[in-house]
Chains A and B, each alone.
Chain A
Amino acid sequence: MADFTLREMMTVVASREIHDGDIVFCGTGISMLAAMAAKHISAPESIIFFETGAIDAQLEEVPMAVSDSRVMLGAAMHGSLSEAFAFMQNPNTGSKVVGILGAAQCDLYGNLNSTVIGDYANPDIRFPGSGGACDVSSFVRRTIVFMQLEKRRFVPRLDYMTSPGWLKGYTSRTAAGLSQGGPSVVITDKAVFRFDEITRKMYLDGCFPDVSRQEVLDNMGFKVDVTREKPVAPPHACELEILRSRCDPQRLILGPS
């Protein structure tokens, strides 16, 4: 087995969720790298799309933020923020968008918190806030969620719901007036989770190599179905090679090797 870091594993696992024809909404950090990896490895016809209005960015260097001038290079067009979000709100184009989001907390239905820990008016910890995350999670057909697997992050009840996922499960999302679709996968540093087609509850899809089911469950604040678990394939040597040499040679996002 090739030698790899957990961040490399997470990035490659996320890149496998991206297919040709997908319009990939990227946030800051590991999500950009996953989109770059998909484009270089498995989905050359996917489209990298930033809320800042850079459409089909070519990304010769990994951006440090979605406003980085690097997102502007070779784009099909430069729009405004309003135009970028309108493409997601419009069902003709929004149905092709795959959003990649991270958060501080996630619940059983993939609802996300990236705003505060504690009381909103008097928080223990303040995070940056929604940015475009609430918009993306409200609009697009499918979201990929990145999380660190920790008990304080996988909580039965969010301190603040920044981004609506499947709300309370079943058809509650569409009944509330949100778009068809929602979170499809949660990728952590230990395991991958998906959502049941009917109940919309999160279930364990697979553990990373050398991670036990018990270790995964011990790091969660709620119970999930484990009957569908299957192993998650580690990155191939060629995936790692492209990720390291083409996507992030300075290891700005990947971190220490």
Chain B
Amino acid sequence: MSLDHAISRFVHDGCHLSIGGFTVNRNPMAAVYEIIRQKKRGIHLYAHSNGQGVDELIGGGCVDRLEIAYAGNGRFAPTCVRFRKAVESGELVVEDYSNFQMSLRFTAGAMGLPFLPVKSGIESDIANQWGFKPAARRSDEKIPDLKLCIIDNPFGRWADTTRLVLVPAIEPDVSIIHAQTADSSGTVRIDGLAFTDIEQAKAARHVIVTCETIVDTRQLRKQPERNQLPFFCVDAVVHLPMGAYPTACYGHYDYDPGYLNDYRNYAQNDEHHRNYLDRYIFKTKDHAAFISLQPLHRLNKIKADPDTGYATGLNRL
């Protein structure tokens, strides 16, 4: 399936969307740019620690509500720039959780459970301060009535535990992940760290997988232990080389420090950011056209070294 078709079919205005990847690595950027290109609005977005993808969707005007643990992009943007502006101006409502809590919420969704217990966050403001107010929660059937719930251990002091935090499942309408490899039916193989991508995919009603390489099903099934997601979870597979660019894709390419630094500078100024959106996203018809705007010498520098999986010795200043 083509990316524009997959996005127009599964990502709708106001949908609950989850994107994979982690800060500077394996964000489904081609899909993010296509969502911006198609001017989707009112998205309720989920991520755990996400940098570039979340920030670009917010900057593209696509997101009204965000549930997240961390919105930063490493050294390139210690706090994501458009995220910060949108929160401080009141345009974006955020619900904060911790990383483990977000991972468990996706896991609960993947397991068909309403919640999972965790021991983190007791007495913190993650437990005490709610982004979505109780009345707004009750009036929206796609948001649980409680942000979380703290209970006494129903098994007494079993496992040396007195209190537990219950965190509600996330069941996105659609999850989008970028993988190194898939077959045309949708069986997925991620190399390197998978982050929470697999739980995010399993929790969702619909799943779009973009990938660097599509291989023959027989080839993937020679080593099924290396595959993480079975084909029946996946609705659309899109072959998209450089689909995580400008974030990294282990074994294929590194993040692009030049692009990420330029982006931060554009994002800090509203007019520059509008020009950026126009030039790189609205005026490019697809991801290949977007990639063709990037200087070739920069793309060559981020090619992964097969021994390390990243661009060894890359100048990252």
Binding site for B on A (CB under 8 A): 28-29, 51-54, 60-61, 63-73, 78, 80-82, 85, 89, 91, 115, 120-135, 138-139, 160-164, 167, 176-179, 250, 252-253
Contact = CB atoms under 8 A, between A and B. Distances in A.
A188 to B, nearest CB: 18
Which residue of A134, A164, A250 has the most chain B CB atoms within 10 A of its CB atom? A134
A176 B163 contact: yes
CB-based closest 10 A-B pairs: A65-B74, A177-B163, A131-B70, A128-B72, A67-B22, A85-B100, A138-B120, A67-B25, A69-B310, A134-B98
Chain B interface main SS type: loop
Interface size of B as a range: 35 or more
Contact of A65 (B24, B99, B123, B310): B24
A139 B119 contact: yes
A134 B124 contact: yes
Interface in B201-221: none
A68 B25 contact: yes
Contact of B316 (A53, A64, A131, A167): A64
Contacts of A73: 308-310
B199 to A, nearest CB: 7
A52 B80 contact: no
Contact of B72 (A28, A160, A176): A28
B175 interface: no
Interface of B: 21-26, 48-49, 51, 68-76, 78-80, 83-84, 87-88, 90, 94, 96-101, 103-104, 107, 118-126, 128-129, 131, 160-164, 192-196, 198-199, 248, 250, 254-255, 304, 308-310, 312-313, 315-317
B192 A64 contact: no
B126 A28 contact: no
Nearest to A82: B103
A239 B101 CA distance: 38
6 contacts: A69-B309, A81-B103, A120-B129, A128-B72, A129-B71, A179-B119
Given A69-B310, A162-B124, A135 B25 contact: no
A19 B88 CA distance: 41
Contact of A78 (B87, B124, B194, B317): B194
B100 A250 contact: no
